[in-house]
Chains A and B, each alone.
Chain A
Amino acid sequence: MSMFQIFNVAGSAVSAQSQRLNVVASNLANADTVAGPDGQAYKARQVVFQTALMGAGNDIGNAGVRVSTISEDQTAGRKVHDPKHPQADAEGYVTYSNVNTVEEMVNMISASRSYQNNIEVMSTAKNLLLKTLQLGQS
């Protein structure tokens, strides 16, 4: 019964999207941090999605999603001249994180829309399967 695999496919997408939301949340939380865990300025993170074939063999009609890597944005952080700041360098500049808040907000909206879409796919599949179970009973 191929309809049952919809739950695997949509479920993998939901979990991938929630991981993306998680990354967006940590990026937004660290938008104004000066030093990350390694002492350097925090670098924005992005998830990279990849198609994961979930069925037996190479059935392309059964393509879920997984997060293949989480990449760090290597662009230079925002520099602000503030010689009194404890993290200021020799020239008096403080390096903030390179998170682009607007980009992250857009990313968040996109992730939540995709999440909703996949939840709806699952509930439609569930309704259809429940009706299939009642076949011949009415």
Chain B
Amino acid sequence: MLNRLTAALNFQTQALNLRSERQRMLASNIANADTPGYQARDMNFAQALREATGNSAKGGSVAGAMAATQVGHLSPAAGARSESQKLYATAAQTNLDSNTVDMDRERANFADNAVKYEATLRFINSTVRTTLEAMKSPNAS
């Protein structure tokens, strides 16, 4: 019964997890803006979210976590996950030190991701509020 109440939150939780992971990835890009040879990384958010929510049906809770579905499968090490949703960003302008961080793009993505992270937080907040409202007794007010 209780997990039906919280099941509605699962999707947003996965989205929040991925948003924070992408935020970290973009922070790494901004930190390495002056490092020679650094290749900027980004994730395909839609694909990552699809993978994450598909996994959660089978009981995996971490985005991109490896599942052991057969007896012979090796059990993955803690924190191991698939790299399929992590991509290399291509440089808009070539650089002599082969660094592919485009600061304008990274800053824009960072701001965009921060806003969407907050949006996800609000979705979760409003779901919690709606659930609490539904649990109140009709005679209470």
A: which residues have CB within 8 A of B?
A: 1-3, 5-6, 9-10, 12-13, 17, 20, 48-51, 56-57, 59-65, 110-111, 114, 117-118, 121, 124-125, 127-128, 131-132, 135-136, 138
Asked if B27 is at the interface of the complex by the 8 Å CB criterion, the answer is yes
Interface residue SS majority, chain A: helix
**CB-CB contacts of B29-65 with A at 8 A, as 1s and 0s?**
0111111111001000000000000000000000000
Residue contact A5 to B114, C-beta cutoff 8 Å: no
Known contacts A118-B31, A131-B118, then 12 further A-B pairs from the complex at CB < 8 Å, ordered by chain A residue: A2-B17, A3-B23, A3-B24, A6-B24, A13-B31, A49-B36, A51-B32, A61-B28, A63-B38, A128-B118, A135-B121, A135-B125
Query: What are 20 A-B pairs at a CB distance below 8 A?
Result: A2-B21, A13-B30, A17-B34, A49-B32, A49-B36, A51-B35, A51-B37, A57-B77, A57-B79, A60-B86, A61-B28, A64-B31, A117-B30, A118-B30, A125-B23, A127-B114, A128-B114, A128-B117, A135-B121, A135-B128
Contacts of B38 in A (CB 8 A): 51, 63
Is B107's beta carbon under 8 Å from chain A? yes
A117 touches B24 (CB 8 A): no
B interface residue count range (under 10 / 10 to 19 / 20 to 34 / 35 or more): 35 or more
